[in-house]
C-alpha cells in the first residue's frame, strides 16, 4: 500500500482541470485512480467525510470529465456527498487537507469554490429536477449544444422528486440530458423498495447481455447468413431484453436506456457516456458501482460501507469511538417503549443506523419500516398507520423534515393523528454545511395546529419527554435534539407549571432555556450574578404549546430572555413574545438563537461561538439590555 501522505500524487497533482485529464493516455488512468483513492482515504481519515460514496465513483468521475466539457456541459451531483473526486479533477486536489474544515473545502459542491460546481443543497433527489430546468433553459437560450449530466444514486432515486422529474424529462425528447444512475445498491444500508429490486434484477440479469454477446460472437462468424440473423435478433432486442431481463421500466417511460455498465471499468464508462452524449436526447446510463470500492475496510463495512465515517485509522479502518450520543439514548428508549406498547412502530427514511433505530429493528423487525429516501411518504404512511390504530414514531434528521411539512400539516395534524416525529441533528450540525443545519423546525412547526414540541435538555429529559410524546393520542408530537454527545445532566430545583426551574433567582431576568441550551444558560446566570444581576432559569420542556405559567413568571421579572438552537425567526422566542403580548405582559423579551441565514460549514462549537450562542455572549447581551433599560426599570413597578 503506498504511503498515504494526504497530498495528491504526482499524476493527480498534474491535473489542474478537465483539460489536463483529457490529455492523459488511457493507461495512465488506473494510476490516477489509485492516487485519487489514496487522497480520499487520507483526507477523510483525518477529518471524517463521505469516503464510501466517493470511492465508488472514482472511475465514473474520471470518465465523465473526459467525455464532457465542464463547465460548458453541466455536471450535477445529487445530494453532493459523492463530489470529492469531481473536486479533485477540477483543480482542488491540493486543498483536501482542509476538507470540511472552517474556511476549507466544503464536503459538497460549492459555487464559491469552482465554476464546475452548481448544486449546494445536500438534500437528496433534487438533481434530476435541476437538470430538467437547466436543459430547458439552454434549449430556450439557443445553447442546445450544452449537455446536462445528472448523477443520481440508487438511494436518491427512491425519492419522489426524482420521479416527478423523470416524468417531465421523458416528455422532452429533444433535451440533451444524461441521467447517470450510480447504482451501488445502497443508501446507507441496502436500498429498499420495488425500484431497488428492479435495479437489482437488472444487475443480476447479466444473462441478457451474456446471451447477446454469445449470439453476437458465434452468429456473426457464420458466413453470409450469420450477420443478418444477428441483426434480426438484435432488432428484436426489446423483446429479447424483456424475455431475458425484466421489463426495463425506464424505456417504458420513453427514456433511452444504456446499461448495465461496469462503473469501475473507466473505458467502458467512457464508451457508454459517449454513446449517450451522441443521442442528443434524454438517456439513462445505468452504472454499477461498489460503495467503498478499492478500500477493504469500507467494502467490508456491513452497516454502511463507510458512508460517512468519523476520524479513522487509514491503515486499519478502525474508527475513533463516538461518544454516547442523543441518538443512542433515543434508540435505547425506543426498545423500552416498544416492549411496553405494541402499538408503537417506527419509520426511517433510509437512515436506520444514523437515527439509532437498529436496536428497535432487531428487537421488533416487523414493526420497523424503512421507506427509502422518502420523507413525504414517511409522514403520510405514518398517518395511515395511525389511522390503522398504531402509534408511529418517524425518525428523521431535522433538516429533512422540511421536505414533509405539508404531509405533517395536512395528512397528520389536520386529522389530529397520534404520530410522533423525532428530529435528530436539530440545531447547528456544522460540518455538513448550510443545508444540513437543523435550524428550521422550531419555526415552521409553530404554525401547525394541535402539534406539540418537546426539546429535552439532557438524557433523562429525552427519555422522559419521548415517553410523554408517545402518550399524546390526539395529535402529532415532535421531540428534537442535536447531533453528537448528550449534554451534561442538569436536575431541576423546582417546577413552574409543567416547566423545570433550573435556578431560582431574584426577579431581574427570566432566562427561558430551550433544550440543550440549559448548560449555556446556567453558566450565563453565574456570569450575571457576578454583575449583580439575578437570573431565574427555566426549561419549558414542551415549547409548544407554551406553559401559561410562563406568563405569571414573566410578569414579575424585568426582562425575559429566550435562548434556542434554531433560527431566530418565528421560533420559540417569538412564540414567548407573542404569548406575553397577548396576555398584556409588557416585559421586554430578548431572543437569542441562530441568525436567519445560511451558515458556512465548520465544527458546531465554532459556529455556536461565531453566532453568539455562548454563555459569555448571552451574559454580556443581557447585561447591556438591563443597563439600557435600567433608568426605566428602576422606576417601573415590578409587575
Ligand atoms: C432528503 C434527504 N434525506 C436523507 C438524506 C441523508 N442521506 C445522505 S446520502 C444518503 C444515501 C444516498 O444514497 P445514494 O443516493 O444511493 O448515494 P450513495 O451514497 O450510494 O452514492 C442519505 C439517505 C439526504 N441527504 N436527503
Ligand atoms: C449526506 C448526508 O445527508 C448525510 O450522509 C450526512 O452527511 C449525515 O451526517 P451525520 O450523520 O454525520 O450527521
Ligand atoms: Mg447508492
Binding residues for Mg(2+): 154, 184
DSSP 8-state symbol, 350: S
Ligand 2 pocket, residues with Cβ under 6 angstroms:
79, 81, 122, 307-308, 354, 425, 429, 432, 483
Q: Let me know how long the chain is.
A: 639
- Name the residue with the closest Cα to ligand 1, atom 21: 53
Report which ligand 2 atom has the smallest distance to the Cα of 307.
Answer: 5
Cα(628)–Cα(16) distance, rounded to whole angstroms? Answer: 56
Report which ligand 1 atom has the smallest distance to the Cα of 188.
Answer: 11
> In this structure, are residues 287 and 35 in contact, taking their beta carbons and an 8 Å threshold?
no
Q: Is the dihedral of CA 277, 279, 282, 283 positive or negative?
A: negative
- 291 is known as an active-site residue: yes
Describe the chain by its helix, strand, coil percentages, rounded to 5. 45, 15, 40
pTM attached to this predicted model: 0.93
Q: Which residues of the chain have pLDDT under 50?
A: 1-2, 238, 242-247, 631-639
Binding residues: 81, 122-124, 154-156, 184, 295, 375
- Name the residue with the closest Cα to ligand 2, atom 4: 308
Cell of 254: 420513453
- Half-sphere exposure in the Cβ direction for 60 (13 Å, CA): 32
Cell of 525: 446566570
Q: What's the 312 CA to ligand 1 centre distance in angstroms?
A: 21
- 375 is known as an active-site residue: yes
User: Which of these is catalytic: 277, 403, 425, 568?
Assistant: 403
Closest by Cα among 50, 104, 43 to 78:
50
pLDDT at 633: 40
Cell of 332: 435505547
What ipTM was predicted for this assembly?
0.99
Cα(156)–Cα(188) distance, rounded to whole angstroms? Answer: 11
DSSP 8-state symbol, 493: S
- 590 is known as an active-site residue: no
Cα(563)–Cα(556) distance, rounded to whole angstroms? Answer: 19
Amino acid at each position: 500500500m503506498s504511503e498515504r501522505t494526504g497530498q495528491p500524487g504526482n499524476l493527480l497533482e498534474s491535473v489542474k482541470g478537465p483539460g489536463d485529464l483529457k490529455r492523459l493516455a488511457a493507461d495512465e488512468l488506473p494510476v490516477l485512480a489509485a492516487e485519487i483513492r489514496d487522497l480520499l482515504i487520507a483526507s477523510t481519515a483525518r477529518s471524517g467525510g463521505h469516503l464510501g460514496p466517493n470511492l465508488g465513483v472514482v472511475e465514473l468521475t474520471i470518465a465523465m470529465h473526459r467525455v464532457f466539457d465542464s463547465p460548458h456541459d453541466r455536471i450535477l451531483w445529487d445530494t453532493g456527498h459523492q463530489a470529492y473526486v469531481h473536486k479533485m479533477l477540477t483543480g482542488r486536489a491540493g486543498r483536501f487537507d482542509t476538507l470540511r474544515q472552517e474556511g476549507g473545502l466544503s464536503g459538497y459542491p460549492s459555487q464559491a469554490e469552482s465554476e464546475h460546481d452548481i448544486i449546494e443543497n445536500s438534500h437528496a433527489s433534487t438533481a434530476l429536477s435541476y437538470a430538467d430546468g437547466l436543459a430547458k433553459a439552454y434549449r430556450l437560450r439557443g445553447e442546445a449544444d450544452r449537455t446536462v449530466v445528472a448523477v443520481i444514486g440508487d438511494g436518491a432515486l427512491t425519492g419522489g422528486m426524482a420521479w416527478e422529474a423523470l416524468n417531465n424529462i421523458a416528455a422532452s425528447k429533444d433535451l440533451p440530458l444524461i441521467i447517470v444512475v450510480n447504482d451501488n445498491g445502497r443508501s446507507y444500508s441496502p436500498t429498499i423498495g420495488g425500484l431497488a429490486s428492479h435495479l437489482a434484477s437488472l444487475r443480476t440479469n447479466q444473462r441478457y447481455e451474456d446471451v447477446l454477446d454469445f449470439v453476437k460472437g458465434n452468429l456473426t462468424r457464420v458466413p453470409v447468413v450469420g450477420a443478418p440473423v444477428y441483426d434480426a435478433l438484435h432488432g428484436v432486442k426489446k423483446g429479447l431484453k424483456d424475455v431475458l431481463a425484466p421489463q426495463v421500466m425506464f424505456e417504458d417511460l420513453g427514456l433511452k436506456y444504456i446499461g448495465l455498465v461496469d462503473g469501475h471499468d473507466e473505458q467502458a464508462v467512457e464508451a457508454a457516456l459517449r454513446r449517450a452524449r451522441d443521442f442528443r436526447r434524454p438517456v439513462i446510463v445505468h452504472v454499477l458501482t461498489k460503495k467503498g470500492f478499492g478500500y477493504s475496510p469500507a467494502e467490508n463495512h456491513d452497516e454502511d460501507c463507510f458512508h460517512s465515517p468519523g476520524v479513522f485509522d487509514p491503515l486499519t479502518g478502525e474508527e475513533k469511538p463516538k461518544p454516547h450520543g442523543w441518538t443512542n439514548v433515543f434508540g435505547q428508549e425506543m426498545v423500552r417503549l416498544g416492549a411496553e406498547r405494541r402499538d408503537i412502530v417506527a419509520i426511517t427514511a433510509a437512515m436506520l443506523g444514523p437515527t439509532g433505530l437498529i436496536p428497535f429493528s432487531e428487537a421488533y423487525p416487523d414493526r420497523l419500516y424503512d421507506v427509502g429516501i422518502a420523507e413525504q411518504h414517511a409522514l403520510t404512511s405514518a398517518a395511515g398507520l395511525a389511522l390503522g390504530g398504531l402509534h408511529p414514531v418517524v425518525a428523521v434528521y431535522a433538516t429533512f423534515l422540511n421536505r414533509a411539512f405539508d404531509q405533517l400539516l395536512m395528512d397528520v395534524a389536520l386529522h389530529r393523528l397520534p404520530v410522533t416525529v423525532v428530529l435528530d441533528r436539530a440545531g447547528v450540525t456544522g460540518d455538513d454545511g448550510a443545508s444540513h443545519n437543523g435550524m428550521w423546525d422550531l419555526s415552521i412547526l409553530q404554525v401547525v395546529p394541535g402539534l406539540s414540541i418537546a426539546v429535552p435538555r439532557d438524557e433523562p429529559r429525552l427519555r422522559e419527554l419521548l415517553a410523554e410524546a408517545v402518550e399524546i393520542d390526539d395529535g402529532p408530537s415532535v421531540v428534537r435534539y442535536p447531533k453528537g454527545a448528550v449534554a451534561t445532566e442538569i436536575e431541576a430545583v423546582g417546577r413552574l407549571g409543567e416547566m423545570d426551574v433550573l435556578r431560582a433567582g431574584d426577579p431581574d431576568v427570566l432566562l427561558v432555556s430551550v433544550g440543550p441550551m440549559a448548560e449555556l444558560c446556567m453558566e450565563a446566570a453565574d456570569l450575571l450574578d457576578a454583575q449583580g444581576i439575578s437570573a431565574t432559569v427555566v426549561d419549558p420542556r414542551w415549547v409548544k404549546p407554551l406553559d401559561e405559567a410562563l406568563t405569571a413568571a414573566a410578569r414579575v421579572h424585568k426582562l425575559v430572555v429566550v435562548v434556542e438552537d434554531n433560527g431566530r425567526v418565528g421560533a420559540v422566542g417569538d412564540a414567548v413574545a407573542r404569548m406575553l403580548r397577548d396576555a398584556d405582559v409588557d416585559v421586554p423579551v430578548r431572543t437569542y438563537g441562530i441568525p436567519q441565514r445560511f451558515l458556512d460549514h465548520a465544527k458546531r462549537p465554532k459556529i455556536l461561538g461565531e453566532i453568539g450562542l455562548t454563555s459569555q455572549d448571552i451574559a454580556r447581551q443581557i447585561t447591556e439590555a438591563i443597563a439600557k433599560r435600567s433608568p426605566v426599570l428602576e422606576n417601573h413597578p415590578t409587575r
